[in-house]
Each structure stands twice: as structure tokens, then as C-alpha cells.
Amino acid sequence: MKNSQLSLEITHWVTSELTLTLDCEISYDTHDPLAVTLVLDTDGPRPVRWVFSRDLLADGMTARVGEGDVVLWPVCDLDGEASSFCMRVGDVHTALFEIPAEPVTEWLAGTYAMVPRGAELDGVDWDELVQLAE
């Protein structure tokens, strides 16, 4: 089992005129190869944890993706390059975060080196799972 973590500062958009900087950690574990875990406000008294698809994170850095509790979309600079991406979490009560793209892109590449996209379920023993479900 391998894992990878990335710690970085992100921006919490409280309102269009008020932002807060939060410490954040994104982690990946090959034991759960389809998911990433995002922990917001890691140094705060009540960190918040979100678990969602690794592919959703990767796709959200280049296009608007997601429905429901997690929606992601790129934020481009004046040259049209994705300098960051936004992540909206929650359904009724939502929060908006802006995350720098470059460190996340590099970190994601490392996770795909560990488990390539599309190979996440290669080691699953489907017969065993069917037996457990019966």
C-alpha cells in the first residue's frame, strides 16, 4: 500500500470581498484507489474532511465537473492558463475554495504513476466480492 500527501494553503471565499487563507491537505492511498481525501483547515480546532473521486479532481482542473456536494472548475489567468481551480462543497450550505493548480497537478501526476487512470480496479477479486454480497 502506498500513499501520497500534499499540504498547501488555499483561499476560502467567505464572500466576494472577504477571503481567508486555510491550510489544507490532499491525500491519496492506493488502498482506496478511486478516491482522494481533502482536509480543510488542518491546523484548526475542527478540520473538515471531504472524500471524492480522484478523476473528479483531475477533470475539474480543466473543465467544470461535478454535481451535488462537490463541484470543481478551473480559473484561468490572462494568458488562458489554469492558474488555480475552484471547489464548491456542500449542497444547501455551500463553501467556496480556490486552490492553486500547479502543485495539485504535479501531485496528481504522482498518484497516477502509482495507480494509472483506468487501472484502479485491476486488483479487485470480483468473485470474492460477489460471494460476500450473497
The CATH number assigned to the domain holding 81 equals 2.30.31.20
Tell me how many domains the chain contains: 1
Contacts of 2 (CB under 8 A, 6+ apart): 29, 30, 114
Q: Judge whether residue 3 has pLDDT over 90.
A: yes
**pTM of the model as a whole:** 0.85
Helix (H) / strand (E) containing 128: helix 126-133
pLDDT of residue 44: 82
Write the pLDDT tens digit of every residue in 53-77: 999 999 999 999 998 889 999 998 8
pLDDT of residue 96: 94
Which amino acid makes up residue 122? Answer: D
Write the pLDDT tens digit of every residue in 73-122: 999 888 877 789 999 998 778 899 999 999 999 999 999 999 999 888 88
Write out the residue range of the structural domain in which residue 103 sits. Answer: 3-133
